[in-house]
Amino acid sequence: MKVRICGITQLEDAVAAVAAGADLLGLNFYPPSPRYIAPGACAAILQVLARQAAPVTCVGVFVNTPPARVAAILDECGLAQAQLSGDEPPADLELLGERAFKALRPASLESLTAQVSRYPSRSLTPAWLVDAYRPGQYGGTGAVADWSLARALAERAPVLLAGGLRPENVVQAIRQVRPWGVDVASGVESAPGRKDRRKMEAFIHAAHQSSQENDLC
């Protein structure tokens, strides 16, 4: 079970997340988000993590950003992947190839099927991120995703589950969805963009412990 701490804006939060056992970090390049980080600040954080040989994968989160700009930020910052969280056309994903995966916010099984069918299949992990549906919003709402829809997709491809996860509900989410990984932002924060070390530790421990229990079943 992979765990991503998303919305990292501070070096100390990145270091604390890695120390707590996070497998991935998410850095948000959508300016309206309270968790926005400028590329230069992101690059500085990742340079420190690289010097520390931190065992973590860093992912950039983008909303309706031109593919050329996405690729440039990935290169500038040293990010491993891009998550496209807006209304990007399939051509954007094709241009970025295996460097990007799509975030989906399905409102129904029909809309999930339609969204998945629009985009090229992904051989990378995760293949998709599933988040809560809120009209006109691109994630980060704190609303819980529809776990039944996430489960339907997780049975077909590696899914990173997002949307309203917290230390208190992540075990239930994992048991119901059986995703490739789980993603959390507001559920481990003391304020938007500022992480709470103890909440991160509790979330990561619960997720990894649940994964080990599932492996024994």
The catalytic site residues sit at: 6, 131
Tell me which H or E stretch contains 28: strand 24-28
What's the CA gap between 154 and 180, in Å, rounded? 8
The rounded Cα 147 to chain-centroid distance in angstroms is: 16
Degrees (nearest 5) of the Cα angle 199, 15, 198? 15
Nearest to 23 by CA among 169, 202, 183: 183
Is the distance from CB of 63 to CB of 138 less than 8 angstroms? yes
Is the distance from CB of 159 to CB of 182 less than 8 angstroms? no
What's the CA gap between 146 and 38, in Å, rounded? 31
Is the distance from CB of 84 to CB of 102 less than 8 angstroms? yes
